[in-house]
A and B are shown apart, each in its own frame.
Chain A
Amino acid sequence: MAKVKGAIVVDTEVCKGCEVCIPVCNDNVILMSKEVNRKGYHYAYMENPEACTGCTNCAIVCPDRAISVYRVKVST
């Protein structure tokens, strides 16, 4: 069965750390980093990259479109 694996890339300078992407992620992939960006905001990162399915939920609720999503099909 083909399995889907995904990944997100967060533009850390654009992210404003609003955390809207965290509750919409069904797989609990995203958390906020302890570090801050140049504006002083904590930015989103993949805490749990194995679980990401590339569903794009986080990216379409991101008001600043800081998240790009990648997805591949993996045959097992």
Chain B
Amino acid sequence: MELLDIIKPENQVFCKTKLMTDTPLSYCPGCGHGTAHNITMEVIDEMGIQEDTIGVAPVGCSVLAYDFMNIDMTQAAHGRAPAVATAIARTWPKKYVFTYQGDGDLAAIGTAETIHACNRGENIVIIFINNGIYGMTGGQMAPTTLEGMKSSTSPFGRDIKTMGSPLKMTELVAQLPGTYFVTRQAVHTHKHVRKAKKAIRQAFENLKLNKGISFVEIVSNCNSGWKMTPNDANEWMVDNMFPYYPLGDIKVNGKLK
């Protein structure tokens, strides 16, 4: 069978979702942000809630999300996305509100907003991309940077004595009574992408049922911040990030696992 016989519109089984615009993604080659954007939009497309979804993009690499996601988006000050999302969700209780934040945003400057939004149990989804570094500003140390990990502001590796331990934000918010669904996923292989997509789908289904906050962490790579090729960065992530940030559901249906 010739290739041209296979490549016909009726045989197409996968293509880019229409909810992503044609603007080329500004992310570095191999960055997990692109996959996370796409699976989020695929979930919204599959649920048919494009008209009723409002996204909040904060500051960081994800700041340009409104250029790529073909839904209503708004911008928040650094770290304040859960606070802005709270306001939107309370003004329009029937809308699907989600925030899409990085670790420098959610776990550093936005710690207070995140913890209090989770504690209040607002009806929003938080998608948290954890790559252990401030990607956009040049690879500075973030609260989630691993012990001994080199960054541009910790050139000799993170020293626990002076810089503290990496912050496990997801375990932290799982302890709060307001959170309903807390999980940690990854997007570096096809299996993990499928699982992450299921988790995001579950989070948006919870939103539909007014169950409270759903918190989806996605452990991602930052190949330019870590100064590796994308595939090396993914391997490094499996060897070093996953032992400290184990994947899996932490809280399901309001009960800790």
Which chain B residues lie closer than 8 Å to A22 at the CB level?
231
B118 near A: Cβ within 8 Å?
Answer: no
User: Would B189 and A24 count as touching, CB distance under 8 A?
Assistant: yes
User: Would A41 and B29 count as touching, CB distance under 8 A?
Assistant: yes
Which chain A residues lie closer than 8 Å to B34 at the CB level?
62-65
Question: Considering the chains assembled together, what is the distance between the CA atoms of A57 and B3 in angstroms?
Answer: 19
B172 near A: Cβ within 8 Å?
Answer: no
User: Would B24 and A54 count as touching, CB distance under 8 A?
Assistant: no
Interface size on B, residues (CB 8 A): 37
B184 near A: Cβ within 8 Å?
Answer: no
The contact of B24 among A14, A49, A68, A69, by CB within 8 Å, is A14
Given A56-B190, A72-B11, 9 additional A-B pairs, CB 8 A: A16-B30, A17-B29, A56-B14, A63-B34, A64-B25, A65-B38, A67-B14, A68-B15, A68-B16
Question: Considering the chains assembled together, what is the distance between the CA atoms of A65 and B24 in angstroms?
Answer: 10
B210 near A: Cβ within 8 Å?
Answer: no
User: Would A5 and B1 count as touching, CB distance under 8 A?
Assistant: yes
Q: Can you sample 14 A-B contacts with CB below 8 Å?
A: A7-B3, A14-B24, A19-B30, A19-B229, A20-B30, A24-B190, A41-B29, A60-B193, A63-B25, A63-B34, A68-B12, A69-B12, A69-B15, A71-B6
Report the minimal beta-carbon distance from A9 to chain B, rounded to whole angstroms.
6
